[in-house]
Structure 1
């Protein structure tokens, strides 16, 4: 945070913390409960490496973790209302018409089988099938910064169909089985309903085909969505005709089809890859929504790793004339949510939830999202603050 002096940064931190606590005060009917929620947030933002109930309680000066646990358990309050507060708060600072909504998931490693949604399932967090919960998240990524704005716990079918496990973990009666793409689509629809400014959606191959594509076309939003190497593509009315799987199309591309482009700046500088882009068809936006106009292009974007030649494939939808460089940049925005998961776990205790219930998971995660959004807001304001004024020497003439 280079734009402010230390004293100004500390004041910005303090005022931001007061602000977010004030915003979530409306969720609680009693002042003492609101104070406990504020202390919970303090604990998430504290220096403790593990954000357990005991450690948060010690930081708050409590004799035990019971007040901290009550915030996640027996005290009645609406985690979805907090989610909406987080979204609105983040957008006050991060909103931009060219923003990208990034969808991804992360794993929460667990012991035992009692925590809501836990099962042996694959998670990229561990790179294998293991005992864990899976959370699907939406992050808002713009030139001003990035923050989580939505989340949902994935409930495997074995859990959704088991009345006893649902009862013990307080799964809402109206909550049934939903695939990860279905959870993602619900998040996109919530984002669209709020009319938040964004132009793109990016996601990996779990979310790359089906209803999400159609929903975004109807909404007039561009996308760069991962697909498998076996996904079939066909072109029509284009000079460069292709038909077949993404892998086969990539194998037949001439060397001049590839360009080395940056997907954005990472912690180690520009993230360079080799890219190829094939326009498949030009379509009228009005075919999907009568309120829209203009020509949009369906395409196939291919990324090749410079070091090992590994390929990744993306289905794209964009306004006619959009460059490959722009599409590569949109895909590169997915890095922001991966960075967010790492930061939220390492610094804010995203995966330190000790409750077993459905509402406990959503409450804990929503509080972490609020802490993360506050940090993103502070970072933006600190980095964009004007430089301090310097005293002019009165002995010098103008």
Structure 2
């Protein structure tokens, strides 16, 4: 098990390095380039709350300023960054059966100054909450799946019509109001223009109900299998009769249903009973209806393709949408939504920071990473339960300093990944001050002895 875990760790780290090397040229100076790498590793680490203070501590940095500048004022093109990640994903995961998947997630927020924040429904919480909403585009094929694009949704009334609020949040002047399906259409068109080989698009009801998105996909000659509500009206009998989707399904004979698998699930193949009905005046449009064999629950999809397709192909595309609801892609989005809410305290950085989920998810999926992996600390690092003296619990003679997350050696670990990538000086001791009151992580004086305060539990204000 230990050997297997080590192989996975090495493989994952190699794929992460490869992904970061792909985007390194987007940072003109070495400092933001190193900070970007440390930031990405921090988001994948086991740090409980990933704000810039905690990520700086994870990376053994003296202060969070560089990471805050990376998200707020550093000059780097987030869209060019996205283009590199998208090309990287297609290079490794591209296949003839590729599918583009549209989905959204909420970023829970406390204040009202972050770009796009307002009280709105978010699936992250399952209710109306104060949040931002991001629309994401994923690419899936038989070789894997990963995120390739993102957009921040700006509500119309509370944001897009308030020029002063947009200016305060740092929203560029060229950004105008767009519905979520419109944002999805922009990302899909950009992906196809960039050469992403995808014959299909799929998404949930929020996107299937929009006729504009369906018209766009048909004009791009890209097939779609989009979920719609049961109340959606379709035209049957060569387009002569209009009826509700659920009414059409209720009148289907038993022979119209075919049991097929929508793909592998956690407990094996996901078998459903499927029926498809031609709608409209041509043979390229269908109403696809899966039925749960146990509960009898129905779902509905509007389907179109440039040429006639068999039922099994429509079932495959419909089942592909569920892959982003499964681990690890969905957990990547949901986990990173909280991480970004913690890491980005300035609203102007919100849209830019979303792009980090792309490179993190891409490097994980391309590396065939199927289990959540906690990024190991630097070589030679070790953990000691808080309150115990470092010398008595240390596996070596290297002295240590107490931090928020445990103990770290004060020197002798200069060969570690973080110390190399972030320029940490050999032998420097890091002391965490007042973590509960936004204290500072500062570099202490050099020395080989552990001070008495380093072995003393924090005081009432969390001092070191």
Under a length normalisation based on structure 2, what TM-score does the superposition of the two structures give? 0.74
Which residue pairs with 1:94 in the alignment? 93
Query: Are positions 1:372 and 2:361 aligned together?
Result: yes
1:106 deviates by: 0.8
Question: Retained in 1: the 8 A contact 2:332–2:357?
Answer: no
Which residue pairs with 1:173 in the alignment? 173
Partner SS for 1:26: helix
Which residue pairs with 1:297 in the alignment? 284
Query: Are positions 1:233 and 2:222 aligned together?
Result: no
Structure 1 segment 6-85 matched on structure 2, within 5 A = 8-85=7-84
Which residue pairs with 1:361 in the alignment? 350
Could you tell me how far apart the structure 2 residues matched to 1:266 and 1:350 are? 28
Partner SS for 2:367: helix
Partner SS for 1:362: helix
CA deviations on 1:331-357 (whole Å, 9 max, x unpaired) are 111112223122343379655443255
CA 1:227/1:34 → structure 2, altered by over 3 Å: closer, same or farther?
same
Structure 2's unaligned 5+ residue stretches are 372-464
1:199 deviates by: 0.9
CA 1:107/1:50 → structure 2, altered by over 3 Å: closer, same or farther?
same
Query: Are positions 1:323 and 2:297 aligned together?
Result: no
Bigger Rg, structure 1 or 2? 2
Structure 1 segment 153-302 matched on structure 2, within 5 A = 153-157=152-156, 158-208=158-208, 209-237=210-238, 243-281=242-280, 283=282, 297-302=284-289
Question: Retained in 1: the 8 A contact 2:113–2:347?
Answer: no
Could you tell me how far apart the structure 1 residues matched to 2:185 and 2:207 are? 9
Partner SS for 1:379: coil
Q: With a CA cutoff of 8 Å and minimum separation of 6, indicate the structure with the bigger relative contact order.
A: 1
Question: Retained in 2: the 8 A contact 1:349–1:368?
Answer: no
Could you tell me how far apart the structure 2 residues matched to 1:345 and 1:359 are? 21
CA 1:129/1:9 → structure 2, altered by over 3 Å: closer, same or farther?
closer
Partner SS for 1:311: coil
Question: Retained in 2: the 8 A contact 1:171–1:357?
Answer: no
CA deviations on 1:213-249 (whole Å, 9 max, x unpaired) are 12222222211011122211113449xx863011211
Question: Retained in 2: the 8 A contact 1:344–1:368?
Answer: yes
1:268 deviates by: 2.4
CA 1:341/1:5 → structure 2, altered by over 3 Å: closer, same or farther?
closer
Question: Retained in 2: the 8 A contact 1:145–1:380?
Answer: no
CA deviations on 1:87-109 (whole Å, 9 max, x unpaired) are 01111110012111000111111
1:275 deviates by: 1.8
Structure 1's unaligned 5+ residue stretches are 284-295, 383-398
Could you tell me how far apart the structure 1 residues matched to 2:348 and 2:358 are? 15
Question: Retained in 1: the 8 A contact 2:107–2:131?
Answer: yes
Could you tell me how far apart the structure 2 residues matched to 1:341 and 1:347 are? 10
Could you tell me how far apart the structure 2 residues matched to 1:98 and 1:359 are? 38
1:171 deviates by: 0.6
Which residue pairs with 2:388 in the alignment? none
Name which of 297, 321, 324 aligns with 1:334. Answer: 321
Could you tell me how far apart the structure 1 residues matched to 2:347 and 2:18 are? 28
Moved more, 104-113 or 142-151: 104-113
Question: Retained in 2: the 8 A contact 1:44–1:368?
Answer: no
Question: Retained in 1: the 8 A contact 2:147–2:357?
Answer: no
Count of aligned residue pairs for this structure pair: 366
Could you tell me how far apart the structure 2 residues matched to 1:217 and 1:56 are? 45
1:368 deviates by: 2.1
CA 1:75/1:62 → structure 2, altered by over 3 Å: closer, same or farther?
same
Under a length normalisation based on structure 1, what TM-score does the superposition of the two structures give? 0.85
